[in-house]
Structure formats: structure tokens, C-alpha cells
Structure 1
Amino acid sequence: MATQQPSSALPAPAPADPYPMAKPGYGKRSTPDQQPRTRNDFTLLPTRERYVAGFVDHLPDGAAMSVKQLAKQLPLYGQQAISTALNALSVAGHLRRVRCSVGAGDETRWVFRTFWSRTARDNEWWSTYLATEKAVQATQAVSPAPARPAPEAPAARQAPEPNPVPPQRAPDQDPAADLPSPAYLALARLGHQDHRLALSADDCAALEARAAEWLGRGVSVDYLTSALTAGLPTTVDHPAGLVRRRLTDKLPPQLPTPTTANTPTRRVLMECTDCGRPGQPENLPDGLCRPCRTAHTAEAPVQPAEVADVKARMANLRDLLKPV
């Protein structure tokens, strides 16, 4: 059995300047009901993972969680090492990346969060929590970034300020934040299903909100694709117009559910911690998709005793979390 070495992990540095906050809809979000912070947190994790976990645990909610930003603050490790450490923390039950749609109609957009738990959680706990209204509200909650005072300029040479343009994406956000939504992907793949419905990037962006409304009513991407490609005329002169008309005319009904009062209107969609591929929590065990999970297992450092200790602890945690 591996001997615990709490002192072997390098202490996470305290940033000299205030840590940058993420843009609205992004950043860290703490989960509820965590154990109090102690000196023994993360002691069973490898040194690098303890170092990263200790730093992330002390960040405030709303802090930027991109690999690029973390690597700037943790100079001992590069972006690749930070990314690998975050994957390991996801497998250990401390972290999940999620997205959730906000708004309605043509104003629908996706927001992204990284949920963090100092207390290691099993897959069942994460799946249950991310299906609750509390998780949806935490995803949509926005923590405004503190305003930075502009440097003073001489009165005689003061230049007019440019018109502010609200950013659509955080410039330091993970590549996962730039992934298209399931509705956009469904529209983009129509041309692969039937060349008569080949849409441009602008067409997909313009029709994305209408397609998202279908998915929001409980239909699958396959159902949406079938409804749009069935019974096409021999020649389609204007694919975008035909798709728009079908999205409007064939919109499925909103079916009421018996558990409406206990079910959130919007469910959090988990993302693979490594590649950002979206999916339901139950389809991404340990927060990783199948290919990334396989790669993570293959690339894991060879530490048999320590890994066995971590697995034993996680198994014990799963047993403790199960209802009596």
C-alpha cells in the first residue's frame, strides 16, 4: 500500500495580481455540500494534480478556468501538463465541464461552466446533481468581472474612447467553448445526409435557434435530420429556405411531463473535459468521452501503488455516497 506524502506536493502559488475572472457564462462554479477545507485535501493524488487542485480550489467562483489562463498562473507546468492534470482531476471526481442554453427564440445562446468539488464525487452523484434545477441556475448565473481602472492620460492628448463592442466569446476561453452546438452540427451535417440540403456556415448560424427549439422539445438529432430530409423534391433551388420552412411548419408539440415541477426546463449538457465533445452526464463517465478516456488511461503515469490507493479511496467514497 502506498505511503501518503502530504508534504511532497508543491504549494500552489498565490497570484500577485487578482486572478482574472471569466466572461459572463464561463468560469468556475463550486458545487454544494462540500467537506470543509483541510490540509489533507488531495493527498492521494499525484504531485502535479495536487498542485493544480490546490490552486483551483482556492479560486473564487467565476474565475477563468481555461488551460491557457491556468498555465499562465502556474509556471511550473505548461498547457499540455495542465490539460492532463485537469483530465486526471475529472477522473478523480473533482471536476466537470458543462454547457447550458439560455434565452429563448432567436436569442438562444450557450453558456459554459466548470463545476468544481473539493470533495471527490462519483459518476452517479455528478449525473444526479447536473440534472437538478440548482445546477442549471448555477450554470446560468453570471459573475461580473471587476472593472479595471483605465490608465490616466494627459488632458491635452486624451484620445476618444472607441465604441465598446460586447465580446461573443472569452478570448482566453478553452477551445471547447468554440465548439458548435448540437443544433448547429445537425444542420451542418444535412448536406452529408443529402446533397440537396447543403447549407453554408451563415445558413447554419441563421437557422441554429430554430433547430435548437426542436431539440429543446425532446426530439433527438436523428429525428430532426429525418424530418428535414424526408420526401425532398427532385431539385432544391434554395436549401436554406426549404429547411427554414420545414423547421417552422413541422415543429413538434411541446409534451408535458408528469414531473414538470421537479424537472428543470433546461438540462445541463456535460462536455468531455479533454476534447469538449458534448453529451449527457451518463454518457461521459469520469467526465471523459470514450476516445479520451481510452487515451487518458493509456497515457497515465505508471504509479501502480498510488493509483491503486486512489481507486480504493474512490470505491470507498462511492459506497459512502450510496443511499442506505
Structure 2
Amino acid sequence: MDTSQNTALMRALTELPGPLPARGVIHVVIRHTDRFTVVGNDLAQHPGLSTAAVGFAVRIQSLPQGAEVGVKALAARFPEGEKLIAAALRELEAHGYLQRARTRLPNGRIVTRTVFCNQPAALLRARVAAAPPWLPPAEPQTPAPAAAPAPEPPAPEAAPSQAPVPPDVQHDHEHAPPDHAPQDLMPQDHAPPHHTPFVPLVPPPTAPRPPRPPLPHPRELNPELDRAATALLSDLRRHAPQLALPENDIRQLTPAVAAWLERDAHPDTIRHTLTTDLPQPLHHPAKLLRHRLTVLLPPPLPDPHDLATPARPRLTATPFQTCDGCERAFRAPTPGHCRDCRNQHRHQPAAA
């Protein structure tokens, strides 16, 4: 009597329809209505994945978009250690469920992006042209040698069977005896090929890229702004040797730096923005500076009057007055009688 029994589960077991197996697992299936994740049997019963890899695949699949799924992030979320998690992720990556790639952000930083697919085999499914199910896939036409076509044997009784057979009729023919099967629907010289090429379902990125935003320019490029911007760009190589720019690139980037200076950006702020977190190695320094000067351009400083706190409206309180009849204090804009005295004077003529 020391073993606890789940009475609710045993009661649900008695309500299952049909005969139950004498041994093995018995499923009590309750349909989920919220907070559930669909997991395919190709993952749950994958013969090449360990139980830990399948478990972490299900856990990653249940997380929302944008959740951190690195080794340290999963170790902080779940009780397993980092070595076990890293081994499970390598298994998922080897079988195509997981892919990790290094991606550069717009600000120049390089991060690791993780892509998880619940059915990696579906990405390699062959594309077959839409055709009736009883016909084989079309083969590419190859030029045949010029020769007289062989005469086809007459088939006087096969005329009705030469018409296309709809799918529902074909379903009945599949269960017909062999001597009544329509042999002319699948000629031997049009047998399906032994090898079908696998084409990825994901199309290549053919959409045109959006045009680059124009390089910022100041409202007026005066000689003082031009001199300060040119000096700042020429001085970048002292702080980052990778940013040794030629004179042509400096002349092209000078208006953008002048636009920053026109918006009251401090030279140290501009220098820190252009020299921090540089990619290694840096192949195109002028393109990187053009991107940062365009994307990270600060807005103009607001006017001091816009930063002033708006004055709150003053609330005038109704003053206290002393009643002329009972000398009780009450609030009213002008002296007079309180509410009780006014009601008393209003009912006196009616009482008389």
C-alpha cells in the first residue's frame, strides 16, 4: 500500500474505446488547445539521433522566434551541461536539422545566426510537374535518328480504354485482377527513370536589392566644415591603421562627415563611431565608413525651447466663506448663506 496510484489516469484508462493491448505502452491522448508544439515522427523516431539530441530539438522547436539557442543560453535555461548540449547540437547539425552561420549586422558586428528546420528532408524533395497520377513523369525529348516509325498493332477492342481514365476510376483498376488491368496506360518504353534529380524547394534569392541610401550632405559645405571633416578622416589611421584612406575616398566622404559636424556631433563621437568594432580583416574601409556615416547619422539637436517643460495650468481653489446665518464655513466664490440656510429660507414661505 506504499505505492501511490494516479486515480485520474486509471479512470481515463477505463474509458478508452476498443480492446487494449496486454503489454506495452497505452496512450491516453488528450487534444491540446493551447501551448503545444507539433513534432513529427521523423524527428521523434530518428534512428541516427540520440535521445538528448531529439530532446533538445523539441525544446528548440518550442521556443519563439528570436530566442537564444546557443550552448551557453541553453545551459542557462535547462539543467544539462554545456558538453552534452554541444554534442546534441552537433548531431542536429550533422543531420540537417540545425545550421549555424556567421552574419554581419548593419552596425558591422558579426553574430551567429541559428536556423532550425523541423523537416530537413522536405527541402530536398524532388519537383515533379503536375501530371495525372496514372502517367509517368515526362522525360526530356532527345533528337531521334530519322527512321520510319514502326506500325502499331491494331487494337480494335481497346478503343474505350485509350481515353484518359480519371483518378477515381484508376483507384478501382488498382484492385482489379491482373488479366483485366489496362496494360496500355503504362507502356514499357516510357518507364520512369531510375534516378530522379533532387531540386531544393527553396528558390534562389532573385529579388533585386533595394538601392543604397544616398550619402548625407550638409545644408551648406563652408570652408570651415570642409577643413574639419577632411582632417577628421585623414586622422583616422592614427586610431585604426586599417582606415588609411586614399585622397579620393576622403574627398567623397568629406560631405558626410560635414553633415555630422553640422548636426553638432562631437569629433570624438564621430571618431568612436567609425573606429569601433571593425571587422577582421577589413577589405573595404571606404565602404564601411560610407555605410556607418549614412545609417548611423544622428538627428539634428532640438531647439532649447522644445526641451522646456510645458507649464501646467494653475488650478484655482474655491475659497472658504462664512455663512451669514449660521456662521458655518463653506466653499463659494462669493459670500452668502450655506446650502442648509438657503434650503431653510426656501421652505419658510411654504410653511407659513
Identify the TM-score tier after normalising by the shorter chain: under 0.3
TM superposition score normalised by structure 1: 0.28
TM superposition score normalised by structure 2: 0.26
Q: Which structure shows the higher helix fraction?
A: 1
Higher relative contact order (CA 8 A, sep 6+): 1
Which structure has the larger Rg?
2
